[in-house]
Structure 1
């Protein structure tokens, strides 16, 4: 990554703005990697659509005289076109968003119905059963394929930066640093260079700045200090003419926000955030899900729970279960259940080990080679089997399957020592039920920075949905099996 200094060579055709009718303009911002990604997604969707309609044709009953095989290609073309018009072949991550995907596929089915009516007026093109089965299979297969594709894509970006989108950051150094930290978490973008607005005069050097951005051949520009740019429309117009996307990043927002949409009031663009989750009906939907899932898990895992209890009892002295006071919803204390993984006097020994705490900020207590852990305890912790008794906490309504981890009393008291920071930031952790697992466990489980832990807690609270809970539970299984970040 480099800073774009004033002595960088400029292009000779600085203000030769592209003709807006140029066909190649809309594709210029796409890097070869972005083009390849879109092609792969398009091919994957086409394959899933063809397979779904073929399976539906075999399962359902095709009406007499129909030839579905001859019309599969138009069906796929219509659906792909609808997905493209809905923005499903862009560069953003999480293009499998299920609600948006369901709407797009439903629209495609309506278009197919209309086309079928004009193709064979008065006749059902295929049986209703085939049509409904194909509709459901399209949603399931494309949603699953895109989820897996995005997961693979994220892993590729972690190990090979060439797969990240190249961008330029424009703003004041402090704002650029804030955005840099946010982007480091996303793994989606690679910061090619920065433009420091404390060095550049945006009023007199806008032309040179745009020329240097164009010379970098990046896909997008992120404006980190929007308040310093008066002539934003000129910047936007010239970047778009160069085939470069523009994003405004509100660095003043300290917490991750809810999903938002742009709404126009007359000629004024406004950003409207969706209502906060986990309230009212949403809370009870989450609670019903917790009760159902935890009951099923306890029944299925009962042989394993009994086996672990016997092994813990036989291999070390002390009780089978370890119960510790934790802070939960609204700051109320409760006893969390775990299989005992430490020696009987572990709490007394902790004070002598405080100096070895590896968590930055000291809010949590973690040591990789903790001498208090028993041999069986090491195995149970490695695969998080010691956490299974917390399913009983879920049944009692003290915890949820997914949520911020409940802090021990020692950790809670340390977290609120700075009252001002606690009031404005961290209190939201105690406005929801704590969880057996959470977003931190699957995103930053190996992190020893307490600020990182609180960040992922806030992301979960403000972005909650049942779909996110299911995703975190599935990701937890992967993290546990691969032993990622386990102590």
Structure 2
């Protein structure tokens, strides 16, 4: 076990990322340039296609602008959803582009049928527009890729800064593999000791100063230490493994070729860029709307608590959030006002296996109304104020009290690398019925590694079901 001061020291030295509301820096600095270039070229390609078709078939040019903007938006959104603006080889996946543009044109035909304002083109015009648009967009992407490869070859544009971690015996082979890609600038090299517990934070600080965005690690350097990938990933650094011998790995990986060698890449699961803002905007809007709609419920609960037992209707407790930063979480008070003092006397009754969490099924500190509020999780409602302030998200790992975090071992700190949530995988998978913290950790990791807005919606809907059924609540 690690002492609490050790945890705090380790966490506060790890660079912040976009999953904290106070941080707005982006990781790979040139991502927005690539996006602007691709969007511009695609827009010009679509406009060129419209101009060519209407120059040949349309007698009334006043009909051009409204349908052009409709077509532009639909096709750009379709290309974006398909992932053709993402980094990597997808930008010149011409078959994927063709399928996406075909789908967008099918959607345009549906709009043509449903909307009288849409120009009444004949089938020949639509077919020609599809052929021209597909050809021009793919040609534009080909031109971008050709120019980029030429610029890289002649060192006109900068390369991604990468770092190698492997043994001295593997160094030459690793260098040769990475250099063959002609798109990386090798900023430095270190041996296995860079991953040792005493050197990890220094290694991360070194990578930060070098501007490294990706790190290549030989499989031999990271055997039995796969949790270390998180130290790099939560700093916005993509982890690649260069296996000298391929062995089964416990989790899904992206597999691609680097210099003729199979490379296993752990992509960062960090919620960054547009993902962060989508999640943050949704959290803020939903929390504000819910607070406005349910204000009478808050008022009734507040009055009920005051009548039921003496003391403030609200309770604030210090919890540990993103990167070990402490904050005050809001709850409706469900216990006696001296509950924190009584906890020390009740530690012997703790029902959790490893003692990290503190759970007692029939906790004598809980008030009469408190039992009802806990059964339906109504005591958690004030945490929406924490969501509005950006200290929490609607969905994420639950923030734990300092008493629990102080008992963490090193691998448990992974769950502190995302913004904590009002609900999460743990809550919809058993809540208080889960008394083994390792199960809690595995559920949190499952959420972090598979995050999407659709998963957030799924957890929120399941939370409602769990609360109504009073599952695992006490």
Compute the TM-score of the two structures, normalised by the length of structure 2.
0.47
Structure number with greater CO (CA < 8 Å, separation at least 6) is 2
